[in-house]
Amino acid sequence: MSGSDLASGRVLTWPNAISAVRLAAVPVFAWLAFAGYDLPALAVLAFSGATDWLDGVLARRLNQTSRLGELLDPAADRLFIVVTLVVLAVRAVVPWWLVGVIIGRDVLLAVVLVVLVTRGRGPLPVHFVGKAGTFALLYAFPLLLLAQWSGPLGAIAGVAGWAFAWWGIGLYWLAGVLYVRQAVGVLRVPS
């Protein structure tokens, strides 16, 4: 058995621990943001964005990629994005249509995943465009929250936050289209 085969079955790795901490930070962020503690909420969002990047880097550098990590990292991303969007929409920081656009793409890909799994094709690998879209959205949210502060910092954060949000939406949906096309190609190949 090769080293990569051994690594794929690992559960206790640094990247998986980081992803687990990110998952645990989701309710912490929600509570802080709903309670109006914007500065600590921003810190949790920044921590989430930084650790999203860090767990992937560590997985590759330490040769600690794992099947659990392949599932845990995107799950943490999706959960953080959905919860953050809902919290920001409830607080009227972002419009509800943004929640619908982002969650709509995730629902589409969930349906595609169910079709793939029921036909024994399993989940598709994460695409770079999807990672870039997620990255942009994870940068957009703290900036949009920071934009609620008055003064030049808030104004600059608002412009930068919406720029990241629009890029994130575009890349997120482009990745969705690429996943659907890839799924159709996989399903057309006889098993």
Whole-number Cα distances in Å, 71 to 4, 76, 87, 126: 17, 9, 24, 10
Domain limits of the chain?
A: 3-188
Alpha helices in 62-127, H assignment, sequence order: 67-90, 96-118
Q: Please state, in angstroms and rounded to a whole number, the distance separating the CA atoms of residues 97 and 34.
A: 20
Q: What is the pLDDT along the chain (191 residues), one digit of tens a residue?
A: 444 444 466 778 888 889 889 999 999 999 999 999 999 999 998 888 888 888 878 888 888 888 788 888 888 888 989 999 999 999 999 999 999 999 999 999 999 999 999 999 878 888 899 989 988 998 899 999 999 999 999 999 999 999 999 999 999 999 999 999 999 999 999 87
Please name the amino acid found at residue 29: F
Domain with residues 3-188, CATH architecture: Up-down Bundle (1.20)
Looking up tokens 């629902």 gives 107
Q: Please state, in angstroms and rounded to a whole number, the distance separating the CA atoms of residues 172 and 85.
A: 14
